[in-house]
Amino acid sequence: MEVMMAWAPVVKEEKEAESLDGEGHSGRIEKNPLEDDRLESARAEMGEVKRENERLKATLSRIMKDYRSLQTQLSSIVPQEQDKKPLEKTDSNSEREESELVSLSLGVVRNGEVERTAASTKTTEKGEVMINHEGLSLGMDCRPTEDDPSSWSREKSPEERKEEEADAGELPWPPSKVLKTWRPGDREVPQQSIHGKTTRVSVRARCDTPTVCTHHLRPMNDGCQWRKYGQKVAKGNPCPRAYYRCTAAPGCPVRKQVQRCAGDMSILITTYEGTHSHPLPLSATAMASTTSAAARMLMEGPLVSRQQNPASAMAGLHVPIISFPGDPRQRRFPLPNPSISSSLSHTTITLDFASPPSSAYWPYSAQTCRLPSNLPSPSSFTFSPSEANPSSNPFSSSGHLSFGVQEYDDQSQVARLFGPGRRSQDPFRSQPDSQNNTSSHPLADTVAAATEAIAADPSFQSALAAAVTSVLGGQEALLQKLRWGEQFSPVSPFEPSLGENGYAGSSYLTRSNSSTMNPQQGDVLRPLQTSTSAFWGPKNGYASPEDNSSWEHS
């Protein structure tokens, strides 16, 4: 349990304090005023810690209770879903069912209206509000509606796809035969474990390096080691496609393809396939931790504002959410225009960083998105690239990008952001709201800034894809570890230690000291260094792939 892991140090601290207290009584031979003072202060501190611990325990028990409640609801929902499916088109049954349902109009509020997504709830005998499958997916469901033809995940006709492909001037990867466009509302989340399909993650990133069409494509540095094993000129694209294999570990099945977009040579398309059979280098896992939630969110579905979502607000559900602005209608997301397609053999997730979102597309002040319901505990992720100046680049300003995992209790907490790597007295304390109110939509703006920064950093994009593949590969445990900084030095989190590739990676993420942590804020992970120059160090003499600037100009 993450929360327990997070609080373990507190308990330990308490025990140590008690031990100290005991020694203080038994070991005292003669009174020393100075020692008394220290003892007193230690006792006071211990009492504080105890109180803190009590609060944390209370919060934990509440979270556990909520979690079990959610689990119970989920387990009761899943059979309902299975039962319901064959009945969907059975009028009599569905009508009868319908009469017991409280229909809700859910979705994105726009112009005072609510975009409807199919969702309904039902009150059980116990008076609990049960959300049926579609209700559960309400935060994830973004099905196109008739009045919303621009829904980003809408099913496209073959003609439309052809047009898009032709427009992009490239062939899709996987090659053609896109049978189905995955919609975030779909329950069959594409994962490698599903139906034996392999999952590919494709990243479209703008790379302004003046390599119009290089025949020496070099992969973006994403923390992994790649060996080129082939190159092929694909039909319809004058630029060759380069094939790389992960060499970070022998036998690692991960491969990636790098190709420039025929339509726009400044766009680089990197496609990853497979799951690393080895732990990702810390430089990659740091990114992975940042992006894992986003990746999972991407897999699970898009967003609906909790604020504007009556179902999530009801019944006191402590539903995990992601603070994550976006307007599905505009296909604008903090995550770049994600789309998922599936072929017979594999599913491809495409992250389009080439067209970074603009804050103008994020009209909501606190758009939130629910995390996948299968996360192990209630938690909320806040992608928080905010500085006081929301328009500032979250990387360039300080070289730090914060992200957090926090238990939320109310909406205000959801909206709280952490400063990006701020070394204040209590860097993990939420920024005062006033700081976030420098614009009317601080979250939207700051995330927009972050996204733009991401879009400007191919390395990050590449790492994101690596992260996504890792997530798809079921490395949830690793991600959980990352969330809580398990992998990092518990003694001195700020002290760098060499990673397996010589990275001083363990300092990239740290966990906040629990004694300075506001229990209401939860634990916070943050990368200490995410500036690209510090983040991506060369691993060996063949470091050219690590440096985009070394791309050969043709």
Partner DNA sequence: CGCCTTTGACCTGCGC
Partner DNA sequence: GCGCAGGTCAAAGGCG
List of residues contacting DNA (CB under 7 A): 171, 173-177, 215-216, 218, 225-236, 241-243, 247, 255, 257, 344-345, 540-542, 545
For 273-286, give one letter per residue: b (16+ CB within 10 A) or e.
bbbbeebbbbbbbb
Nearer to DNA, 38 or 162 (CB): 162
- Closest approach of DNA to the CB of residue 274, in Å: 9
Of 175 and 502, the one with the shorter C-beta distance to DNA is 175
Q: How far is the CB of 552 from DNA (least distance, A)?
A: 7
3-state per-residue secondary structure call for 85-141: HHHCCCHHHHHHHHHCCEEEEECCEECCEECCEEEEEEECCCCCEEECHHHHHHHCC
3-state secondary structure of 275: coil
For residues 72 and 554, which CB has a smaller minimum distance to DNA in the complex?
A: 554
Least CB distance to DNA at residue 170 (A): 9
**H-type helices in 310-441, by residue range?**
310-313, 411-415, 433-436
Cβ proximity to DNA, 116 vs 216, nearer residue = 216
Q: For residue 511, which amino acid is it?
A: R
DSSP 150-216: T-TT----HHHHHHHHHHHTS--SS-S---EEE-TT-SS---TTSTT-EEEEEEEEE--SS-SS-SS
Shortest distance, CB of residue 298 to DNA, whole angstroms? 22
CA 297, CA 312: separation in Å to the nearest integer? 16
What minimum distance in Å lies between the beta carbon of 243 and DNA?
Answer: 5
Q: Which among 259, 200, 448, 214 has a CA at the least distance from the CA of 336?
A: 448
| Residue nearer to DNA on the CB measure, 178 or 388 | 178
Q: Which residue, 229 or 494, has its beta carbon nearer to DNA?
A: 229
For residue 136, what are its two tokens?
């559960």
Task: Give me the residues paired with residue 509 across strands.
Answer: 527
Beta carbon of residue 184, minimum distance to DNA (angstroms, whole number):
25
Which of 175/474 has CB closer to DNA? Answer: 175
CB of 478 to DNA, least distance (A): 24
